[in-house]
Structure 1
């Protein structure tokens, strides 16, 4: 039986639910998990992740030479295919994989595909990632992209051959489709890291006019990040109408999605080039029957059907964003109608089961070709 080894550099940040869903969603192959650092295995995954190196020096040595410890070597020797998450992080498993001539699949997610080279080099592991980038692209049997936008970025900005790119959307778990459609309270929800590309600063600028029109409305912000202090300062004049919750486990996020009347995803491309791949919060909100308000840009154009399951605002326009959010806060009935359409679209295009079948089809294509 062909074994798939899934590599994630760290197991597992709260924000990377898509990696967890991928590991748990593989149905027709035995699965092993490789990592450079296993932070909280018992809380995140039911199986153990094998560390390739217990410290930064060992991880870099593995990236440069392909030499790994005994446990990781045994996992690789059992592996028929390695699937690495993030084109940048694949540098830490590429050498060990290519030395053994194991087929490699890489999923690009966002920063790793869209950020400019200068920005990628500034990252903590940027030097080794850039050193290996072309070799990884050349060696990989497939680079999976969560949106056509990411595929376009890799083709036109990183010169990846289109035939090597497989567009497979992120997927949403079945349980989200079972939640009630309507929310009685006029709540707006934002979920994401507090960084430039997520656009929370645009949302706070929009919230002042929203709050004047809907004084009972509350904006809930879930997430943390380097911009948190500045965003809290910007929100101070808005008083109790804006609540920062910090980083929260996925169960809390799911409960807040259910309570929201509208979910705002004001992401846009950052000055570093960094942009979204396909935000999981979009898919989870749609499946839970919540309308989305997004900026009209990039991968967000592949999520909602405008005028049916959500609305687009002009990118960077806080007043337009406020108008679109207020449209849903003003009417529970309208929110319900759009939410129903959003759920239907998520069911048709973004179920986790369907996307996992597509990923497994890529595995079979590669493995049968190797055979």
Structure 2
């Protein structure tokens, strides 16, 4: 789905790639589900095409009939198309036709689930290469089909994943099929997240902020319980939650049951600029993420990187790639997941020792500048696209091509591991 309100990292990547000179087109499987948009969307130059979805039988035949003239070898891929869901097959055929029509040389999908299913099929039908970025739910969720993911990993020209944790898991689980996986962190536009070192605010009760969808894996239920413990210890801390989701009613009920109604603010979803203002004014940012009962978990939440960039002290849990950004005692504090007592202890420590919090805040900003700058990371991704394109052209010309490196391409040292 493009644009999706919660997926700011994709828009950030698109903008950075365009700044690098990449000639992009965007294909979306679904139209946006709500009318909220981030300001940065206005700067995206790439055109957007929405692929067919929920087609009637007659519409499906129309897609196939129209595509056949542009895809003369379509029948060779009929078995694979028939094995896919009808919507995915129709989207793939239409995308393949668009690829041929517009002379597109490579497809890249975010998430190894349905978007990569369509990109893979379209690339095979159109005779081009594809790649994808694997995040978290598309790797760890109980619904992930290991055989399907293995096939995608093996077929792709390369695969990006967003943390060393993910990289180790994919290579350990899928062996040689994951040889083409490289780690490249999601980047931030550091100009939009200037360091503000938001510590502390006089004449104001200390604010703890949590940002994200109100779902199990964010662990906000434990944050509410930690706030109740802080109140029992005499703290005046309050909690601000930014986001919405299916657990909102249960969280509001828990807040009421703990008698915290006057200390918790539910902001709902906010545009990126307003969210940054809330985070920068807070005394501490909490990311009490957990592994969900269905295996779902965060990879390395972009909003944690944003908090580090802004200079708001971070308390988090060591779920998946979190320790790669929140280095315990250096750039933030880590506590065990689903442990409200440990979470309350860490929050209390941040709120009481301002000097130590400032030191971690400064270190967090430096780490983000070093590893998570979107311009630098987009240049690495663009280099990999370019290497793949050169290999494809050489192969088409029947020359002896040099395969695109799985190891470091230009400025890729430390990325391909």
Q: Place the TM-score, normalised by the shorter chain, in its bin.
A: 0.7 to 0.9
Deviations 1:12-39 (Å, cap 9, x if unpaired)?
A: 2211001111111101321111112232
CA RMSD of aligned residues (A): 2.5
Mean CA deviation greater in 206-215 or 57-66: 57-66
Report the secondary structure of 1:107's partner residue: strand
Query: Unpaired segments of 5 or more residues in structure 1?
Result: 1-9, 122-129
Q: 2:151, 2:177 within 8 Å by CA — same for their partners in 1?
A: no
How far did residue 347 of structure 1 move? Answer: 1.2
The answer to whether the aligner puts 1:230 opposite 2:250 as a matched pair is yes
Equivalent positions of 1:327-346 (< 5 A) are 327-346=349-368
Q: 1:147, 1:299 within 8 Å by CA — same for their partners in 2?
A: yes
The answer to whether the aligner puts 1:94 opposite 2:120 as a matched pair is yes
The answer to whether the aligner puts 1:110 opposite 2:136 as a matched pair is yes
With the length of structure 2 as denominator, give the TM-score of the two structures.
0.78
Q: 1:181, 1:289 within 8 Å by CA — same for their partners in 2?
A: yes
Once residues 30 and 295 of structure 2 are traced to their aligned partners in structure 1, the CA distance between those partners, rounded to angstroms, is 28
Aligned residue number for residue 22 of structure 1? 13
Deviations 1:25-58 (Å, cap 9, x if unpaired)?
A: 1013211111122326986353431111154666
Report the secondary structure of 1:178's partner residue: coil
How far did residue 361 of structure 1 move? Answer: 2.1
More strand by share: 1
Once residues 289 and 173 of structure 2 are traced to their aligned partners in structure 1, the CA distance between those partners, rounded to angstroms, is 20
Change (3 A) 1:76 1:269: farther
Change (3 A) 1:346 1:75: farther
Once residues 288 and 41 of structure 1 are traced to their aligned partners in structure 2, the CA distance between those partners, rounded to angstroms, is 24
Report the secondary structure of 1:67's partner residue: helix
Q: 1:62, 1:93 within 8 Å by CA — same for their partners in 2?
A: no
Deviations 1:71-118 (Å, cap 9, x if unpaired)?
A: x615764211111010002113321221112211100111001112xx
Equivalent positions of 1:225-264 (< 5 A) are 225-236=245-256, 237-264=259-286
Aligned residue number for residue 78 of structure 1? 103
Once residues 106 and 276 of structure 2 are traced to their aligned partners in structure 1, the CA distance between those partners, rounded to angstroms, is 33
Aligned residue number for residue 52 of structure 2? 53
Once residues 41 and 328 of structure 1 are traced to their aligned partners in structure 2, the CA distance between those partners, rounded to angstroms, is 34
Once residues 68 and 56 of structure 1 are traced to their aligned partners in structure 2, the CA distance between those partners, rounded to angstroms, is 12
Once residues 100 and 20 of structure 1 are traced to their aligned partners in structure 2, the CA distance between those partners, rounded to angstroms, is 26
Report the secondary structure of 1:68's partner residue: helix
How far did residue 158 of structure 1 move? Answer: 4.7
Equivalent positions of 1:201-212 (< 5 A) are 201-212=221-232
Once residues 389 and 127 of structure 2 are traced to their aligned partners in structure 1, the CA distance between those partners, rounded to angstroms, is 12
With the length of structure 1 as denominator, give the TM-score of the two structures.
0.87
Deviations 1:281-330 (Å, cap 9, x if unpaired)?
A: 11111111122111133211111222121111122211011000111122
Aligned residue number for residue 184 of structure 2? 168
The answer to whether the aligner puts 1:35 opposite 2:60 as a matched pair is no
Deviations 1:206-235 (Å, cap 9, x if unpaired)?
A: 111123335432111111111111111111
Indicate which of 168, 175, 180 corresponds to 1:152: 168
Paired residues, number: 351
Once residues 95 and 176 of structure 1 are traced to their aligned partners in structure 2, the CA distance between those partners, rounded to angstroms, is 37
Report the secondary structure of 1:166's partner residue: strand
User: Which structure: larger Rg?
Assistant: 2
